[in-house]
């Protein structure tokens, strides 16, 4: 019997056809896959550029904040008769200890009305109070000022008994959780507790500083952490960050949040909170192997010295020690001449300062950042602390028989980062820090003899259903908006720099000339060539119309007659000026006299080398004194300077950073 030929019956042809179709489908799938990978890579590049802008501007602001310390020293030296006029001002600025205040002085006049429907805490606190507080804050209730002050006083009392570094131990069956910056983002804290459990004897935590500022719920986070600490003082560890600082709070939002939520008793809360900050420990050591500090280290970090310092003398990173000799202090100013600051007996607390060496040691552990480059060199981006390389990490860890440094202080796209051959871990717990979708948050779980485990998350609300490209577009748009505001605040300086390069007065520069001028003036260390398409227009020859960068944005003038240079200067330094005026305004009234206003402006102008005629500022101040009573509401004054983006809607189209 003859066997049929399968090919003659068409079976072979059918199989070959199927193979060809499968091959085509596979090739198509690979093409689509490669395209999608490239597409996502381009989106991630755009997102990375946007994060670089956010971070560069953030660090530049911090640099300006730290430079204020020089101004306050300058002010002490030059403010005429400052001691006689405002002895309290000098003590507030430079005294490093605060007289203990009687709890009853604060609480006896505060009544909790029957109409109050928020959480009611019972002292001594228990686990029930933690649960009560969390549930109340989920309902957006406000804790009454009476309870806030009670918690602050109790927290201070317990903190005063604690060492500079908290030592704690784990075991294979008892892990510890380390959280980084929260920055007022309450939903992140709720999510951490939901995923990881509430603090308890069997579930210990370290919160590594920067609980407050930037986010809108710093008070709620602080209360949850402090109440949890009071219930479990041996199992919840709080490290001080660079934002646990009353001067930082003035700039980055927490002071404003307190005064808004507690209009009647906010000033009292701020006074006690300032003391509580100074008693927070500056680090935690786990199993004698893991050092947990907020920022980092330097080549001169001395843990033995840091264990001994009187940490409560560190009131603010902006207040460096001022050398005093008896009742007088001599300092060299920037011109090289010697000025004498009167140290009247009202400022006897000057003797209660950290030494310069101690102060610098604390600055380093609160502000420093790791880098891949070997050595230790100034942290030029932030203006404080240092950059430390892998060799410095090995040197310090080996010196003190430690294995790992866990720190926070830097936003990371994935919520954490490992560097220096696994010896340095950065953990950052505030997701969406710069913008919705900008970064994940993370926390670490570790125990003795085990590898650290990382847990990531991201709070999502309205954006969770938006495609990736829309989320990246939103992040880009916000980043470019901030960058344009930075540019307009330096418009005069930028135009001067452009015109120096534009020798033919053509209004155009090469890409290299434009990028050089932008970096030279703004100093943000950004990839200007890559960003140029979003900031300026370029002709067919690749030349840049440098004035086009200012076409869609301007600073609103509160008074039309005032010159643009003054408007730019006030806008650029508005955060610094607000802090200075807040310091003068010791009663938080929001008002200062015209005389104080002018005196501080003259000192500020001199110290920052601002070349503006006093008559211009005087005219502006006169016009802003709306009721002509000789006082100025400086917060309203500074709010009058804001940037207008003319083409916001048009710019939300499809422009990209990469």
Structure tokens at 391: 């060799």
Spatial CA neighbour of 246 closest among 208, 217, 280, 221: 280
340 vs 222: CA distance, rounded Å = 41
138: left (phi over 0), alpha (psi -120 to 50) or beta: alpha
139 vs 549: CA distance, rounded Å = 45
Do 96 and 352 contact (CB within 8 A), yes or no?
Answer: yes
To which H or E segment does residue 28 belong? helix 11-78
526 vs 218: CA distance, rounded Å = 31
To which H or E segment does residue 142 belong? none
Spatial CA neighbour of 583 closest among 596, 602, 570: 596
Active-site option among 183, 243, 420, 607: 243
Distance separating the N- and C-terminal Cα atoms of the chain = 72
Spatial CA neighbour of 236 closest among 188, 173, 308, 284: 284
Rounded to 10 deg, the angle between the 11-78 and 574-584 helix axes is 40
Burial class (CB within 10 angstroms; exposed 0-12, middle 13-18, buried 19+) of 545: middle
Could you give the 3-state DSSP secondary structure of residue 444?
A: strand
How many CA atoms does the CB half-sphere of 591 hold within 13 Å?
9
243 included as an active-site residue: yes
Structure tokens at 13: 């042809």
Do 46 and 472 contact (CB within 8 A), yes or no?
Answer: yes
Burial class (CB within 10 angstroms; exposed 0-12, middle 13-18, buried 19+) of 631: middle
In terms of residues, how long is the chain? 658
3-state helix, strand, coil in the chain (%, to 5): 50, 15, 40
Q: Which residues are catalytic?
A: 243
């Amino acid at each position: 019997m003859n066997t049929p030929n399968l090919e003659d019956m068409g079976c072979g042809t059918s199989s070959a056809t199927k193979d060809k179709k499968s091959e085509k489908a596979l090739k198509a799938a690979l093409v689509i896959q490669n395209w999608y990978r490239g597409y996502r890579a381009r989106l991630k590049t755009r997102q990375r550029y946007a994060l670089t802008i956010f971070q560069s501007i953030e660090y530049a602001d911090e640099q300006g904040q730290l430079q204020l310390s020089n101004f306050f020293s300058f002010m002490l030296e030059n403010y005429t008769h400052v001691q006689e006029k405002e002895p309290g001002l000098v003590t507030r600025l430079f005294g490093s200890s605060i007289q203990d205040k009687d709890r009853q002085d604060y609480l006896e006049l505060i009544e909790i009305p029957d109409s109050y429907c928020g959480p009611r805490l019972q002292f001594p606190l228990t686990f029930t109070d933690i649960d009560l507080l969390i549930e109340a804050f989920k309902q957006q209730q406000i804790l009454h000022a009476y309870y806030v002050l009670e918690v602050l006083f109790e927290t201070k009392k317990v903190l005063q008994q604690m060492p500079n570094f908290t030592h704690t131990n784990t075991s294979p069956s008892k892990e510890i959780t380390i959280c980084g910056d929260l920055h007022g983002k309450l939903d992140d804290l709720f999510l951490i507790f939901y995923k990881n459990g509430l603090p308890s004897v069997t579930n210990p935590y370290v919160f590594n500083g920067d609980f407050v500022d930037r986010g809108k719920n710093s008070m709620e986070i602080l209360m949850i952490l402090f109440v949890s600490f009071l219930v479990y003082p041996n199992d919840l560890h709080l490290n001080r960050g660079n934002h646990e600082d009353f001067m930082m709070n003035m700039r980055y939002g927490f002071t404003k949040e307190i005064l808004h939520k507690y209009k009647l008793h906010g000033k009292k809360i701020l006074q006690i909170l300032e003391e509580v900050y100074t008693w927070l420990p500056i680090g935690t050591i786990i199993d004698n192997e893991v050092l947990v500090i907020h920022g980092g280290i330097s080549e001169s970090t001395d843990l033995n010295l840091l264990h001994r310092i009187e940490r409560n003398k560190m009131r603010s990173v902006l207040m460096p020690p001022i050398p005093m000799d008896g009742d007088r202090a001599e300092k060299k100013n920037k011109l090289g001449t010697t000025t004498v600051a009167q140290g009247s007996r009202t400022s006897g607390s000057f003797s209660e300062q950290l030494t310069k060496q101690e102060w610098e040691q604390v600055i380093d552990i609160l502000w420093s950042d790791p880098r891949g480059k070997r050595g230790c060199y100034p942290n030029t981006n932030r203006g404080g602390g240092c950059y430390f390389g892998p060799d410095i990490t090995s040197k310090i860890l080996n010196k003190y028989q430690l294995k790992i440094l866990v720190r926070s202080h830097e936003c990371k796209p994935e919520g954490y980062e490992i560097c220096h051959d696994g010896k340095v871990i950065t953990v950052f717990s505030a997701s969406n820090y710069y913008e919705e979708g900008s970064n994940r948050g993370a926390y670490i779980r570790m125990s003795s003899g085990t590898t650290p485990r990382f847990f990531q998350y991201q709070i999502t609300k309205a954006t969770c259903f938006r495609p990736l490209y829309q989320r990246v577009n939103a992040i880009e748009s916000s980043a470019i908006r901030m960058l344009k505001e930075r540019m307009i605040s330096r418009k005069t300086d930028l135009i001067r720099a452009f015109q120096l390069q534009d020798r033919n007065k053509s209004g155009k520069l090469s890409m290299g000339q434009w990028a050089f001028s932008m970096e030279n003036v703004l100093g943000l260390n950004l990839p200007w060539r890559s960003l140029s398409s979003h900031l300026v227009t370029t002709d067919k020859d690749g030349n840049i119309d440098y004035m086009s960068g200012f076409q869609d944005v301007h600073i609103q003038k509160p008074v039309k007659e005032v010159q643009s240079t003054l408007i730019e200067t006030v806008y650029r330094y508005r955060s610094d000026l607000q802090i200075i005026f807040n310091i003068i305004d010791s009663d938080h009234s929001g008002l200062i006299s015209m005389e104080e206003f002018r005196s501080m402006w003259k000192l500020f102008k001199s110290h920052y080398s601002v070349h503006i005629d006093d008559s211009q500022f005087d005219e502006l101040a006169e016009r802003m004194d709306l009721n002509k009573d000789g006082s100025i509401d400086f917060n309203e004054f500074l709010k009058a300077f804001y940037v207008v983006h003319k083409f916001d809607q048009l710019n939300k189209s499809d422009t990209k950073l990469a």
